Amino acid sequence: MMIPKKPLVGIIMGSSSDSKVMHNAAKILDDFGIRHEDQIVSAHRTPTRLEEYAKHAEANGFKVIIAGAGGSAHLPGMVASHTVIPVVGVPIMVYNDKSGKKSDEFKFSAFGGMDSLLSIVEMPNGSPVATVGINKAANAGLYALKMLGNEYPELRAKLKKFKQTQHNSVVMESDEMKKSGLVRFVQKKFK
């Protein structure tokens, strides 16, 4: 089946504060030529939009939703409770990033993202959210691609190539390390 030229993935986040982290999911989808639609939907500031968004995602035929949020992150779980489209959750550590405040005190959640991770991963039985690590939006993008790969052989082939590239780059670095020895390898690589 040909990959359709319309968004297959919906990316949502609780705030523009999350956008720097979440754009890594968009980047990997772009790399593989998969269209996505990106929006801000806040579970606590725009609760009525959640249900509307779920309806919109279904009407537009999204196959996966990637949802990122920080703090006591309800967005991924709540959107999952409104739809049968699989949801991949991204716990976010950066907090209130749009405040413009330079101090780190305002930039990170009190629990370093653990609050968000546990809120997302510990969904009760019945409304699952597949959860990636804290700030690992790129992994959410990759996971979405793998799900889509079940349907589109062309994408599956690209993912296999991606794996091979990963393999080759590790072997290349290992050869370099073997040749120069660990001390010189580190001096060269991290100088």
Could you say whether residue 92 binds ligand RP5 (CB under 6 A)? yes
Q: Which is nearer to ligand RP5, 27 or 98 (CB)?
A: 98
Number of residues that bind ligand RP5 (CB under 6 A): 12
Closer of 15 and 152 to ligand RP5 (Cβ): 15
CA dihedral over 177, 24, 83, 116, signed as positive or negative: positive
Nearer to ligand RP5, 64 or 94 (CB): 94
- As measured in angstroms, the least distance from the Cβ of 98 to ligand RP5 is 5
79 interacts with ligand RP5 by CB under 6 A = no
Token duo for residue 96:
């209130």
Contact between residue 159 and residue 29 where contact means Cβ atoms under 8 Å apart: no
User: Please, which residues have CB within 8 angstroms of residue 156's CB and are 6 or more apart in sequence?
Assistant: 149, 150
Distance from CA of residue 94 to its chain's centroid?
A: 14
Which residue in the set 20, 23, 38, 42 belongs to the binding site for ligand RP5 (CB under 6 A)?
Answer: 42
Q: Rounded distance, CA 84 to CA 55, Å?
A: 10
Residue 70 interacting with ligand RP5 (CB under 6 A): yes
- Which residue, 17 or 24, is less far from ligand RP5 as judged by CB? 17
95 counts as binding ligand RP5 under rule CB under 6 A: yes
Q: Among residues 28, 34, 50, 69, which is the contact residue for ligand RP5, using CB under 6 A?
A: 69
Tokens at residue 89, please? 């959750």
Q: Are strands 87-92 and 130-131 parallel, antiparallel or unpaired?
A: parallel
Distance CA 3, CA 35 (A): 10
First to last CA, the chain: 48
If you ran DSSP here, which 8-state letter would residue 106 be given?
G
Quick one: 25 or 145, whose CB is closer to ligand RP5? 25
State in angstroms the smallest separation of the CB of 88 from ligand RP5. 15
Shortest Å, Cβ 75 to ligand RP5: 7
Q: Which residues of this chain interact with ligand RP5, rule CB under 6 A?
A: 14-15, 17-18, 42, 69-71, 92, 95-96, 98
